[in-house]
Structure 1
Amino acid sequence: MKLFIKNGTFITMNGNETIKDGYMVVENEFIQYIGKEKPVENDYDQIIDGSNRIYMPGLVNTHNHAAMSLLRGYADDLALQIWLEDYMWPMEAKFTSEEVRWGTFLSILEMIKGGTTCFVDMYDHMDVVAQAVETSGMRACLTRGMIGFGGKEVQDAKLNEAKTFAKNWHGKANGRITTMMSPHAPYTCPPEFIDKIVQAASELQLPIHTHMSETRHEVLENEKQYGFRPVAHLQKLGVFDQSCLVAHAVHLTDEEIGILKEHSVHISHNPGSNLKLASGIARLPELMKEGILVSLGTDSAASNNNLDMFEEVRLAALIHKGNTFDPTAIPAVDALRLGTIDGARSIWLNDVGMLKEGMKADFISVNSNQAHLLPKSDVISHIVYSASASDVVDVWVDGKQLVKNKELLTLDEERIKYEFNACFERLTT
């Protein structure tokens, strides 16, 4: 299959490059050509006129719990620990594989139609999550999240399940699915359990993904219980000796930033969720200045309450300007990098996140002929400060079109919504 797009505007994320009235050729799953000059060849299976379209890499959401879409709006305006312990965990205890399946499918539906082509998911019943990803055509980095409550038998069962899942699914779906190992958080996993997870990650040669330093309460409790703040605690347990992606990292000292830099730890910044739960504002400008690789995540639809990565990009650009009184703190292009190429690199994907010859064809188109995206001046500025998920028109992953003129091609949208609503009714009656 050979696709030719002409007359488009391309945000490549290859540096600050934007190509206006340009051309792109996709052959099978790879970008074969992108540039200002029209290619000489004309043997194409499909030709698209990209006039009034902005083409850009698909967005990468590096922290999510997709099945929690079932709990969107169930409990809002609460502190994290109350929200989790009194509302989320009791409801999640009722989830079966069917709830996880349809909650995940609804999140995938929202993400794909909103321009997200790849996501990280940490949850339970991960086989059905992987099956949903495979069916949808999306790309995902999946991990069986492990909360360490319960005795040794419970912990060992979770760890064995996580290892089996990783072995069965890593590299599947034509490489679109990768896996990690995930202790939920230092405050939900005893040190001995984290030790076992680190050993398993080392044996399987897989990265580790965990929540860390999300709230002040969490940091203080970790210090009270173990004598260390979360960063030193996880460092001591060898978590950072593996490739590691931590979610949130809101409450960090200068010394802790130095430790994360030394160990090349990646951070998923979740501005929307952190604001809504009043967890705080991460030290993004300082992290980026130190060269730490930061990406963006929505967290779940229960804590956000949407999966619009355009919103996360905009928040990342805006809140740090306001928080530092510096309008140059996070420029638009840097914010967009967080949601695209830096997201891909944060989960060790080196062939997506950029429109460039030889890269995988994971890209989206946005309708630029709309009032809020005119005049046709700085397209990166428009994407960051003006665009939203609803502006996405077309989506491709691995060179395969998943959304065409806003219509999802790989999934039955109406069935997903029907089954999702049925699951919600069962949970709440």
Structure 2
Amino acid sequence: MDKKIVLKNVFFDGAKRDILIVGNLFEKVTRPLELADYEGAEIVDCSHFAIMPAFYNGHTHAAMSLLRGFADDMELGKWLNEYIWPTEAKLTPDDIAVGSHLAVLEMIKSGTVFFTDMYWHREQTMRVVEEMGIRAAIGVTFAEPLMSPEAWAANVDFLKNHTGESERVQLVVMPHAIYTVGEEKTAELIELAHAENYKIHTHLSETMTEIKNCMEQFGCTPVEFWKRLGGLNSNFSAAHCTHFTASDRKIFAESGATAILNPCSNMKLNSGIPQVAEMLKDGMKLGLGTDGDSSNNNLDMQEEMKTIALLAKYLGTAETLPAEEALKMATCNVAQFFGINAGRIAEGCLADCLLIDLNNERMVPCYNIYSNWVYSANSSAIDSVMCNGKFVMRGRHVDGEEEILRDARECAARLVAK
């Protein structure tokens, strides 16, 4: 028999309600509960809490948590080539596990229950996700300069022979970028993804250098490159999308693809500012991601949500991207792309949610709960986090967090010593 949880007197949709969770689904949200609904259920007193959808991080590199603050205040090319890639080459599978634990802990503490990960030693990150009870889309990552032919072939074989995903983890084909995967190999990966029914995720139009080099090499923009190869459709998502032309936006919108914006990382690396107001006008599907800890330097989706809302207004008008729409970019828009029935507090949806402390100083007064959550609050207001109908954080505590922090400190010290 499925476990039942009643979130009692929780603030939702303008009123205090009792919300019933059965198994991993919201069973009753706006309908009144009956006596039988309470029988055998765990009753959670939520009289000081509001319920919000949990965050879905559309793009990150989880294990780069170990490189937080390692290399800052420089542009992308120098940052990657002189600091990040040489250091990443030293990371062992055990290091990846430690870094993934740290990242997932940070995400849970800041209200995220799903992330899209582009990194190496994917089995380590998959294991951590399963262990810590959240969701992920894990990339099988391809980058020609960083892989031997044997490693490339092994990745292809893994995708062709994968026997199925777990309830909370799915695989995604992830060519790193146009400047690390050439035209022939990109075409092969598109064919593979279509044949095996995988989604594709990549970095796209992140810097003006990328645009310039693409124009010189292929005679087109990165978006046009992907269109020419037949890669743009509703199963395609791309991170950054910082430098889209008007034509790019039209092509992208018509394809049904999803752009995952990473404004904090883009501004910190001086890569540019996504033209979010124009993207919205042109009907593009938009989600949010943090990028990695080494370029953001955190995985806080609440911060990302506020930033994109402010940028949209700066680039458009004060009415552009209202709070509730910004919240959708950080929640259900990303979930929808990955085919996950979540990101909303609604009957029949997966029970992924946050309990927000209404006594937190940033939530007082509360004229508009969405305004407070997007513009005022930070992760200190999150008391508890639920994923798939189970608490992964309760009362600000995550099981094993002390050991995760200890292991991360020790691992970082070893990396420096190398």
TM over 0.5: yes
Q: How does 1:71-110 map to 2 (within 5 A)?
A: 71-110=67-106
Q: How does 1:39-50 map to 2 (within 5 A)?
A: 39-41=34-36, 42-50=38-46
User: Does 1:344 find its partner at 2:344?
Assistant: no
Partner amino acid for 1:262?
E
**C-alpha displacement of 1:77:** 0.9
Map of 2:239 onto structure 1: 247
Q: How does 1:63-78 map to 2 (within 5 A)?
A: 63-78=59-74
Taking a change above 3 Å as real, the CA distance of residues 292 and 396 of structure 1, as seen in their structure-2 partners, is: same
**C-alpha displacement of 1:289:** 2.5
Cα distance between partner residues in 2 of 1:177 and 1:108: 14
Cα distance between partner residues in 1 of 2:238 and 2:124: 24
Partner amino acid for 2:334?
G
Cα distance between partner residues in 2 of 1:255 and 1:104: 38
User: Does 1:232 find its partner at 2:224?
Assistant: yes
Taking a change above 3 Å as real, the CA distance of residues 364 and 242 of structure 1, as seen in their structure-2 partners, is: closer
Q: Please, what is the CA RMSD of the aligned residues?
A: 1.6
Map of 2:305 onto structure 1: 313
Are 2:355 and 2:382, in contact at CA under 8 Å, matched by a contact in 1?
A: yes
Aligned match of 2:411 in 390, 398, 423? 423
Partner amino acid for 2:269?
L
Map of 2:291 onto structure 1: 299
Q: Identity over aligned residues, as a percent?
A: 33
Are 2:139 and 2:171, in contact at CA under 8 Å, matched by a contact in 1?
A: yes
Other structure's SS at 1:408 match = coil
Aligned match of 1:363 in 348, 353, 366? 353
Map of 1:117 onto structure 2: 113
Aligned match of 1:160 in 149, 154, 163? 154
Are 2:343 and 2:352, in contact at CA under 8 Å, matched by a contact in 1?
A: yes
Cα distance between partner residues in 2 of 1:258 and 1:49: 48
Cα distance between partner residues in 1 of 2:231 and 2:202: 9
Aligned match of 1:171 in 155, 165, 168? 165
**C-alpha displacement of 1:160:** 2.8
Map of 1:13 onto structure 2: none
Are 1:66 and 1:104, in contact at CA under 8 Å, matched by a contact in 2?
A: yes
User: Does 1:207 find its partner at 2:199?
Assistant: yes
Taking a change above 3 Å as real, the CA distance of residues 202 and 231 of structure 1, as seen in their structure-2 partners, is: same
Structure 1 portions without partners, runs of 5+? 11-17
Are 1:117 and 1:397, in contact at CA under 8 Å, matched by a contact in 2?
A: yes
**TM-score, normalized by length of structure 2?**
0.95
Partner amino acid for 1:259?
I
Taking a change above 3 Å as real, the CA distance of residues 168 and 105 of structure 1, as seen in their structure-2 partners, is: farther
Cα distance between partner residues in 2 of 1:77 and 1:278: 9
Cα distance between partner residues in 1 of 2:212 and 2:345: 44
Cα distance between partner residues in 2 of 1:20 and 1:35: 10
Cα distance between partner residues in 1 of 2:239 and 2:389: 30
How many residues are treated as equivalent by the alignment? 414
| Offset from partner CA, 1:170-228 (integer Å, 9 cap, x none) | 421xx110111010001111111112211221221101100000111110111112222
**C-alpha displacement of 1:87:** 0.8
Cα distance between partner residues in 2 of 1:124 and 1:283: 31
User: Does 1:408 find its partner at 2:404?
Assistant: no
Map of 1:15 onto structure 2: none
Other structure's SS at 2:155 match = helix
Other structure's SS at 1:407 match = coil
Are 1:198 and 1:242, in contact at CA under 8 Å, matched by a contact in 2?
A: no
Aligned match of 1:23 in 18, 22, 25? 18
Are 1:64 and 1:119, in contact at CA under 8 Å, matched by a contact in 2?
A: yes
Q: How does 1:325-344 map to 2 (within 5 A)?
A: 326-344=317-335
Q: How does 1:385-404 map to 2 (within 5 A)?
A: 385-404=375-394
Cα distance between partner residues in 1 of 2:384 and 2:27: 19
Are 1:143 and 1:162, in contact at CA under 8 Å, matched by a contact in 2?
A: no
Are 2:276 and 2:315, in contact at CA under 8 Å, matched by a contact in 1?
A: no
**TM-score, normalized by length of structure 1?**
0.93
Are 1:245 and 1:347, in contact at CA under 8 Å, matched by a contact in 2?
A: no
Cα distance between partner residues in 2 of 1:149 and 1:83: 16
Are 1:4 and 1:47, in contact at CA under 8 Å, matched by a contact in 2?
A: yes
Other structure's SS at 1:402 match = strand
Aligned match of 1:267 in 254, 259, 262? 259
Are 2:113 and 2:352, in contact at CA under 8 Å, matched by a contact in 1?
A: yes
**C-alpha displacement of 1:134:** 0.5
Are 1:141 and 1:179, in contact at CA under 8 Å, matched by a contact in 2?
A: yes
Farther off after superposition, 181-190 or 236-245: 236-245
Partner amino acid for 1:297?
G
Partner amino acid for 2:183?
P
Taking a change above 3 Å as real, the CA distance of residues 162 and 366 of structure 1, as seen in their structure-2 partners, is: farther
**C-alpha displacement of 1:45:** 2.2
Structure 2 portions without partners, runs of 5+? none
Partner amino acid for 1:352?
A
Q: How does 1:30-41 map to 2 (within 5 A)?
A: 30-35=25-30, 37-41=32-36
Are 1:147 and 1:184, in contact at CA under 8 Å, matched by a contact in 2?
A: yes
Taking a change above 3 Å as real, the CA distance of residues 112 and 197 of structure 1, as seen in their structure-2 partners, is: same
Cα distance between partner residues in 2 of 1:166 and 1:21: 49
Taking a change above 3 Å as real, the CA distance of residues 346 and 163 of structure 1, as seen in their structure-2 partners, is: farther
Partner amino acid for 1:171?
E
Other structure's SS at 1:63 match = strand
| Offset from partner CA, 1:133-153 (integer Å, 9 cap, x none) | 0001001111122111268xx
Cα distance between partner residues in 2 of 1:413 and 1:165: 33
